[in-house]
Structure 1
Amino acid sequence: MGFLRSLRLQWARHQQRWFGKWHVYLGIIAGAIVAFVGVTGSILVFQDEIDRALNPELFYIMEQEKKMSFDEIIPVIHRRYPDLSFNYIMSDLEERPNRAYQLFNFATEDEYFINPYTGELSGKRLHESSFIHIVTELHRTLLIPAAGRYIVGLATLCLLILTISGLRLWIPQKWKQLKDVLTVKFSAGLKRQNYDWHNVLGFYSAPVVSLLSLTGICFTFSAPVIALLFMLDGRSPQGVAQLLGAKSAYTENANPLPLENIMEIGQQAMPDGRIGGISLPADSLGSYRLDMLGKNPPKNGKREMLIIDQYTGKVLLNSRLDFPESGDAYLGWLAALHYGSFGGRPTQILALIGGLMPLILFVTGFIIWWPRYRKQRRNGKSRPDAPPVPRRLANNQAAVPQQALPAFMANLKKGFRYALWVLLITALMGALYGLISGIIIPPAVFAVIYTAVFVILNFVVALAVWVFNLLFLVPFRKGSRGINRYFALSLSFTIVFLASYLLLMNTGMQIF
């Protein structure tokens, strides 16, 4: 009883802090959504294995002597099945000898399975009707057209904030309390055990959950993220669209090169990779896109891309050379980190567990919150005590820089201290995620540079809010010190993370 009484008092103190409020309200608002998204994500960690287990007749074939390459099998398919239309062909990620080639028609959503030894059609399905595709759409959009993608993205952002604020709430006030927040006291009552489980599971899963949420946000808001990456590299934000949309140089009576030649050119451009899939030209101006994989993709997560002119064989895009290294990280490591495939089975298991954590933490957190909420209702309060409302600036203080400057500089200094801690923790989170597989540097650097991207995007928002406050609120004595503080903290975070980004991306080392 004594512990629970002190727990309530401690909670009340946390309720007065902004991070406590964010943790409570975001958990209530977004908890159910991130729990659902996390569970579906856990299923997708092993999506290939599940799909093959549910449809063995489609994926598995009898191993024979010689497997045909893409350039050899495509003419065979056209001869045998002249009505079969497809625009993408891919092999099994691990190149197992008993796996079928997969063909896709993106216009009709048809997916075909071809025996790589004989060229025979071994199966067909409508891709969007498969179990894994349905789970994928639930994970990405909740099956809500248009808005669902952004609902999931914002909920995932809430999950990242919940993780950060939860870590702040987890920090014990005294070092001698460290053991209590790292372990579960099984001899205590159920309420205490539930509280301990919430703390302990949240702490130990934080590295994985933070990386899963960060990469998920990057998937959802890919357009501004990629545009900012190119801008930070001194390029036009439209550069990526121009590169990916590169066209072949068509002239009258021009003859396309044989696919064999295209594949040879691709292999010469990236001799340390292999061709995992080929997108065929859609028309006379279309180009070949070769999806290149590392020699051991589950272990390093490396995926790269080549776009080649179908007539001249000119390499129009080499992602290794034409993308900034941060863009290379997006292409090669984003999905691998999100699904845990970069480190093989160990990191996949971590990603599976990380996906289940939002559900577990939502349930345990709700069990902590609900009795307190009911008690506050009985005491005449419909919700937890609101945080103190920022006092309005009296006498138009913000309009006088000499008076506002000391407070601004104090917040800026405090922000630098916070930012350095967050930078260190961010790198540590990425490193811990890959530690079990021995891959430490790329996940750590990825975490830092993509956190930097969102820190910069946040600064753009903070700047807009600050300018609005200065121009439209302060003259009418409605300005808020909270906005000034938000801008100062955002500025300090941006300076620290932008400097880290530029330093990491200009070391001359090939991190990704």
Structure 2
Amino acid sequence: MKIFFRNIHLYLSLVSGLIIAVVCFTGGVLVFEKELEQAWHPERYFVTPATTPRQPLAQLTDAVRAYKPDAKITGVKVYADPARTVEISLAGAPGGPGGERKGEGGKEGRAEKSREGGRSEAGAQAVAPAGGGKSQEAKGGKGGGGEGGRGPTVFVNPYTAAVTGELNYRETFFFTMMALHRGMVGGAIGKLVVGVSTLMFLFIIGTGIVLWWPATRNAVRQRLQVKWSGGWKRLNHDLHIVLGFYSALFLFVFAFTGLAWSFEWFNKGIYAVTNSPMQRPEPPTSAAPAVADAAALTPDAALTLARQQAPTAEYYSLQMPKDPTGSIRVATLRPGASYENATDEVYLDQYSGTVISKQTYEQRSLGQRVRGMFKPVHTGSIYGWPSKVISLVVCLLGVTFPITGTIMWLNRLRKAKKKQRKMVAA
């Protein structure tokens, strides 16, 4: 029976080994994406808190319009931390950088961002809700969102209204790593190849555990310890077998959650198993104003109302409406939230400021909460630095297993050929 499992393990590894190595390597690079981005460009994200009051959002948005006159502002993200800059999201030009491209920034890509709950903080508009369905950005709904797709983020000093930097995620090193990680460099075919390789990887891990399982109690210690004093063949064997066992559970979880970005049927299965609707309801609309040509709320007024609703939030992400019937969407993150996109959301009437609807993270459907957990589990950010370090180590080990496994296979072939030559000579 072990020969059967060994053959499955071997041939699946030979077919998908290179893809798995690339996915593990790029995944390891992306584990500390936010921390590295902030360390490389601290001026974008941090300022020295001043004793003077913060500038109103109207002045900050005016500074962005002066910086990029043709830009369309789609969202504003304000942190409670006085040392953080204000992030202002812009719409991308259709078909251009940050615009809509099939499989990356187009319909499919925007739907993925919606399910994930928005992109990482480094390049975030931070306005898409976590969980299933399409966000306002994806639908171009009445509540707001950019018409031109995913555009750059401009960072502004909240005390001086000075623009401190700009980030176009598609032009960054991490976007290249993300494209390699998900197979988007090859379009739909590349994404399918990564998805199929990930499925194979799950079988490789399962058969690997079967092959690892010791036949006797005396062999348990050998399977749990690397013999560093052995020859290079024995060391290579132990690095593959022993470290493979310790990392198998983590790799299985990472691979399983990674299927959500490769196959739509997998996402549909999450909502089917949890008996949850996949589509989110349409954003509510604002009531017609009592006075004709009534002025809509300013971003500052909306932020004031948002702070009244969630006075202890870590950040406030505002999406202003793009038409006279739209509503103002505000996403807030509570202290101690389970993950970065576990946000509460409130919709405000753009004329009266009345709360039209609100939903806490706990009120989301089970399917939305389960799907929303996939990204922090997949990236290892679910428990902060400790889980990220584990994720990084496991990803780096995942790069080595196709190499050590191939060496074991070649050694076995040489051994079989040598044995055959001896038999012929005899």
Using structure 2 for the length normalisation, give the TM-score: 0.72
**Structure 1: distance between partners of 2:166 and 2:258:** 31
> Of 107, 113, 119, which aligns to 2:92?
107
Alpha carbons 2:64, 2:154 under 8 Å: kept: no
Contact 1:288/1:308 (CA < 8 Å) preserved in 2? yes
Please give the alpha-carbon distance, in whole angstroms, between the structure 1 residues aligned to 2:16 and 2:28: 18
1:75: Cα distance to partner?
0.9
**Aligned partner (choices 175, 178, 203) of residue 136 of structure 1:** 178
Q: Is the 8 A contact 2:286 2:327 kept in 1?
A: no
Distance in structure 2 (CA, Å) of the matches to 1:15 and 1:34: 23
State how 1:47-446 maps to structure 2 within 5 Å.
47-65=33-51, 68=54, 73-82=56-65, 83=69, 84-91=71-78, 96-108=81-93, 109-221=151-263, 223-235=264-276, 239-243=277-281, 245-249=282-286, 251=288, 253=292, 256-259=296-299, 262-263=302-303, 273-297=313-337, 303-306=342-345, 308-311=347-350, 313-316=354-357, 318=359, 320=361, 322-331=363-372, 333-373=373-413
Q: 2:324 & 2:262 partners in 1: Cα distance?
A: 33
Corresponding residue pairs, total? 354
Q: Measure how far apart 1:340 and its partner are.
A: 1.7
**Shift, 1:167, TM fit:** 1.4
Distance 2:312 2:279 in 1: 26
**Distance in structure 1 (CA, Å) of the matches to 2:235 and 2:72:** 59
Q: Structure 1 residue 372: deviation in Å?
A: 3.0
User: 1:100-151: per-residue Cα shift (whole Å, max 9, x none)?
Assistant: 2222224242221111222221122433112222222222225222332332
Instruction: Give a deviation string over 1:335-371, Cα, whole Å, max 9, x none.
Output: 2212222212111100111211221111111111123
Q: Quote the Cα distance in structure 2 between the aligned partners of 1:310 and 1:150.
A: 43
| Distance (whole Å) between structure 2 residues aligned to residue 229 and residue 66 of structure 1 | 49
Q: Distance in 1 between matches of 2:218 and 2:91?
A: 60
How far apart, in 1, do the equivalents of 2:158 and 2:35 lie?
Answer: 20
After superposition, the Cα gap between the structure-2 partners of 1:133 and 1:307, relative to the gap in structure 1 and judged at 3 Å, is farther
SS at 1:102's partner residue? strand
Shift of 1:227: 3.4
Of 21, 25, 46, which aligns to 2:32?
A: 46
Relative to structure 1, the CA distance from residue 294 to residue 216 in structure 2 (aligned partners, 3 Å threshold; closer, same or farther) is farther
User: Which has the greater radius of gyration?
Assistant: 1
Distance 1:191 1:240, change over 3 A: same
Structure 1 letter corresponding to 2:176? I
When structure 1 is superposed on structure 2, of 55-64 and 41-50 the one drifting more is 55-64
The answer to whether the Cα contact below 8 Å between 2:259 and 2:266 also exists between their aligned partners in 1 is: no
8 Å contact 1:197–1:364 — kept in the other structure? yes
Alignment-mate amino acid for residue 26 of structure 1: L
Q: CA offsets per residue over residues 406-439 of structure 1, 9 Å max, x none?
A: xxxxxxxxxxxxxxxxxxxxxxxxxxxxxxxxxx
Q: 1:121/1:187 Cα in 2 relative to 1: closer, same or farther (>3 Å)?
A: closer
Is the Cα contact below 8 Å between 2:342 and 2:361 reproduced in 1?
no
**Secondary structure of the equivalent of 1:306?**
strand
Structure with bigger helix share is 1
Alpha-carbon offset, residue 162 of structure 1: 1.9
Q: How much has 1:373 moved relative to structure 2? A: 4.3
Structure 1 gap segments, 5+ residues each: 1-12, 381-512
Amino acid at match of 1:99: R
In structure 2, runs of 5+ residues without a counterpart are 94-150, 421-426
Partner in structure 2 of residue 462 of structure 1: none
- Give the match's secondary structure for 2:73: coil
- Bigger mean CA offset, 268-277 vs 123-132: 268-277
* Distance in 1 of aligned mates of 2:358 and 2:197: 35
Deviations, residues 221-260 of structure 1 (Å, cap 9, x unaligned): 3x4344334444545xxx44242x4242453746544545
More relative contact order, 1 or 2 (CA 8 Å, 6+ apart): 2
Deviation at 1:181, TM superposition (A): 0.4
Quote the residue 1:25 is aligned against: 11
Q: How much does 1:263 deviate?
A: 4.7
Q: Do 2:31 and 2:391's aligned partners in 1 also have CA atoms closer than 8 Å?
A: yes
- SS of 2:285 mapped into structure 1: coil
The answer (yes or no) to whether the contact 1:247–1:285 under 8 Å persists in 2 is no
Cα pair distance change 1:317/1:155, threshold 3 Å:
farther
Cα separation, partners in 2 of 1:155 and 1:282, compared to 1, 3 Å: farther
Mapped contact 2:320–2:328 kept (Cα < 8 A): yes
Relative to structure 1, the CA distance from residue 85 to residue 302 in structure 2 (aligned partners, 3 Å threshold; closer, same or farther) is closer
Q: Is the 8 A contact 1:250 1:284 kept in 2?
A: no
